[in-house]
Amino acid sequence: MKKVLLFDTTLRDGTQGEGVSLSVEDKIKIAVKLDKMGIHYIEGGWPGSNPKDIEFFRQIKDHCLEQATIVAFGSTCKPGLKPEEDSNIRSILESGVKTATVFGKSWDFHVTHALKTSLKENIRIITDSVRYLKSKGLEVLYDAEHFFDGYKNNPSYALKTILAAQEAGADLLCLCDTNGGSLPTEVMEIVRTVVGKVRVPVGIHAHNDGELAVANSLVAVQAGAVQVQGTINGYGERCGNANLCSIIPNLVFKLGYECLPEEKLTGMTELSRYVSELANLNPNPHQPYVGNSAFAHKGGIHVSALLKNPETYEHVQPETVGNIRRVLVSELSGMSNIIYKAEELELDIDLNQTNPETKAVLEQIKELEHQGFQFEGADASFELLLRKGFNGYHEPFNLETLRIIMEKRENNEIYSEAIIKLRVGGEIVHTAAEGNGPVNALDNALRKALEGCYPNIHDMKLADYKVRVLDGNSGTGALVRVLIETHDHYDSWGTVGVSSNIIEASWQALVDSVAYGLLRNKKRDEKRKK
């Protein structure tokens, strides 16, 4: 089995992506996580460019990594300078790393227009920079910037640049599709040609401007590259870098290469979301392998087949990359979706294809979704709907009356008060509560009314509140959908409400969130007694 080395540049190239910002502490945490995952090389940053990266290299020395090699990034020395005179080269040495990535120009157009020097001087600075770093005992990985564009424009000169790096002692030549515009056929042919002309290992560094970075990385490996550079979640400048979260499972499961132990791949989804969290970016739900929707099934025909064999609509088992299978309930659902979802939720109700109540629930779901309800992110509302449909559920409270008071005072503060009357266990509870807005006041009043009968309600916290206008053409009279996420010490759950009145939609979602939380508490208490 052929082995491929993984080179992660999330901490350097990934941070060049729009909206991506990592503190030194974030970078340390990600480096430790990547090391535990089994990544071979971790490019920590460019110590010659900013104080943050200098601090990263200083602090990472205090962490005993299991196997990963920390790499410092930098450019060749400037034209007209010797490497020992160049501050960038000096900063690489001062970082204390044992491995350096140094990039140089491969494209003659870039040499004359961006670097503003001669083709001969460019060869000189590549040779001298690599040789100097090697003389200091470093492993040197040479990044041939714009190599594919350079090769297509002037193949003899592009080859001359990497051969210069090889003769100077480079340990690996990484071919970069820096503009991200090459096609897989081009990459495969060029990599195969280079591999046949050099005696040191070859790597691939692809960008995603043509949405081909993953494909280009895979074909480069098939053509002889033994190292793949990329970032977690494909973060990077412009359209991003090659996404290691897709490349790694494709290398292992599809092409049979050795890069990570298969048991490590079960941490891919967690790693993806961990990096998203630290980068303060929402995870892409549609990202292959690790996205929340990667193994989500909605169509009734799909789910019917899944019940027979998951391989009918899944190219790999979600567990192999640490993800889970999800079945969604919507207007596209068939009975199989309802049955599968009920089994997934471990509902103790009789659901089958011939049961008329199952058909009635399905029709109700389709009608509610036609009205604007969405149960894909509201499993709790869906479970309550199922329980109501099969006569096995009684609501813990019922609304008698509800009144909201809004008042703007002289200090420009908005005053909100909710007054509610509930029927709880055969008794009427009448109370009021204030809040910083009408929904907050509603939430506070509902909890205040129920705390006497259900003290566990204090453990339930509203974690997220989202409003979406469903028909913008109707102006202020449009339907709105409210999605609420609630959590306690044990779990989190989502509920939904829809109305042309945002208060009513919020009330629906709030009622379901509290009712579901009370139901979960009751079930937990019953398990404890057993």
What pLDDT score does 378 carry?
76
Q: What is the bridge-based pairing of β-strands 227-230 and 41-45?
A: unpaired
* 398-424: pLDDT as tens digits: 899 999 998 887 777 788 999 999 998
Residue predicted with more confidence, 151 or 300: 151
Section 343-366 average pLDDT: 68
- pLDDT band per the 50, 70, 90 thresholds, residue 472: low
What pLDDT score does 341 carry?
64
Q: What is the bridge-based pairing of β-strands 414-424 and 398-408?
A: antiparallel
Sorted by where each begins, the domain ranges of the chain are 5-279, 296-370, 372-390+461-530, 397-453
What pLDDT score does 476 carry?
61
What pLDDT score does 288 carry?
97
What pLDDT score does 360 carry?
74
Section 71-86 average pLDDT: 97
pLDDT at residue 335 tops 60: no
What pLDDT score does 5 carry?
98
Residue predicted with more confidence, 488 or 37: 37
Lowest mean pLDDT among 189-203, 237-251, 292-306: 292-306
Residue predicted with more confidence, 528 or 508: 508
**CB proximity list for 60: less than 8 A, separation 6 or greater:** 28, 31, 44, 70
What pLDDT score does 390 carry?
67
- pLDDT band per the 50, 70, 90 thresholds, residue 468: confident
Section 313-337 average pLDDT: 74
What pLDDT score does 367 carry?
74
Residue predicted with more confidence, 528 or 515: 515
* 356-379: pLDDT as tens digits: 766 777 777 777 766 777 676 677
Highest mean pLDDT among 83-97, 274-288, 371-385, 434-448: 83-97
Of 321, 316, 148, 143, residue with least CA distance to 219: 148
Sheet with 414-424: list strands edge to edge. 398-408, 414-424, 427-435
pLDDT at residue 353 tops 70: no
Does domain 397-453 sit in CATH 3.30.160?
A: yes
What pLDDT score does 458 carry?
86
Q: What is the DSSP letter of 231?
A: B
**CB proximity list for 250: less than 8 A, separation 6 or greater:** 214, 218
Highest mean pLDDT among 116-125, 268-277, 284-293: 116-125
User: Concatenated DSSP letters for 441-465?
Assistant: HHHHHHHHHHTTT-GGGGG-EEEEE
Lowest mean pLDDT among 105-114, 271-280, 368-377: 368-377
Are residues 438 and 406 in contact, defined by beta-carbon separation less than 8 angstroms?
yes
- pLDDT band per the 50, 70, 90 thresholds, residue 331: very low
Section 90-119 average pLDDT: 96
pLDDT at residue 184 tops 80: yes
Share of the chain above pLDDT 90, in %: 62
What pLDDT score does 44 carry?
97
What pLDDT score does 24 carry?
95
In words, the CATH class of domain 372-390+461-530 is alpha beta
- pLDDT band per the 50, 70, 90 thresholds, residue 495: very high
What pLDDT score does 466 carry?
86
Lowest mean pLDDT among 79-83, 157-161, 216-220, 435-439: 435-439
- pLDDT band per the 50, 70, 90 thresholds, residue 521: confident
What pLDDT score does 134 carry?
98
pLDDT at residue 14 tops 70: yes
SS3 sequence of 404-419: EEEEECCCCCEEEEEE
Strands (E), 128-208: 139-145, 172-177, 202-206
Of 419, 418, 417, residue with least CA distance to 409: 417
Instruction: Say how far apart CA 400 and CA 147 lie, in whole Å.
Output: 72
Place of tokens 């103790």: 348
Tokens of 438: 């009408």
What pLDDT score does 312 carry?
82
- pLDDT band per the 50, 70, 90 thresholds, residue 260: very high
User: Average pLDDT, whole number, for the chain?
Assistant: 89
pLDDT at residue 287 tops 90: yes
Lowest mean pLDDT among 27-36, 308-317, 334-343: 334-343
Instruction: Say how far apart CA 6 and CA 247 lie, in whole Å.
Output: 10
Instruction: Establish whether domains 372-390+461-530 and 397-453 are of one fold.
Output: yes
Q: Which CATH number fits domain 5-279: 3.40.50.300, 3.20.20.70, 3.10.20.30, 3.10.580.10?
A: 3.20.20.70
What pLDDT score does 314 carry?
86
- pLDDT band per the 50, 70, 90 thresholds, residue 332: very low
- Rg of the Cα atoms in the chain: 29
What pLDDT score does 463 carry?
84
* 377-390: pLDDT as tens digits: 677 888 888 787 76
